[in-house]
Amino acid sequence: MDTRILTDLERSAVRSFYLALSTDDRRKRFCSTLSDDAICKYVDGLDFTRHTILGAFEEQAELIGLAELAPGAEESEMAFAVRPDKRRLGIGTALMDGLLARARSCGRKKVLVIFLADNTAMRRLAARAGMLIRTEGGEAYASRELQAIVAAAPESAGRGAAESGERERN
Ligand SMILES: CC(C)(COP(=O)(O)OP(=O)(O)OC[C@H]1O[C@@H](n2cnc3c(N)ncnc32)[C@H](O)[C@@H]1OP(=O)(O)O)[C@@H](O)C(=O)NCCC(=O)NCCS
- Distance in Å, CA 142 to ligand 1 centroid: 14
Give how far the C-alpha of residue 142 lies from the chain's centroid of Cα atoms, to the nearest Å.
Answer: 12
Q: Of the residues 124, 133, 139, 141, which should be mutated to test ligand 1's pocket, given the most ligand atoms within 8 Å of the CB?
A: 124
Residue 124 three-state SS: helix
What is the distance between the alpha carbons of residues 28 and 21, in angstroms, rounded to a whole number? 10
Give the chain's domains with CATH numbers.
2-169 (3.40.630.30)
Ligand 1 within 6 A of CB of 22: no
pLDDT single digits (tens) 74-120? 889 999 999 999 999 999 999 999 999 999 999 999 999 999 999 99
What value does the CA radius of gyration of the chain take, rounded to a whole number of Å?
20
Is 27's pLDDT higher than 60? Answer: yes
Give helix then strand counts, H and E, for the chain: 6, 7
Which atom of ligand 1 is least distant from the CA of 83? 39
- Distance in Å, CA 34 to ligand 1 centroid: 21
Mean pLDDT for the stretch of residues 53-80: 93
User: Can you list the alpha helix ranges (DSSP code H) found in the chain?
Assistant: 11-19, 23-30, 36-44, 91-105, 120-128, 155-169
pLDDT single digits (tens) 127-165? 999 999 999 999 999 999 998 666 555 655 444 433 333
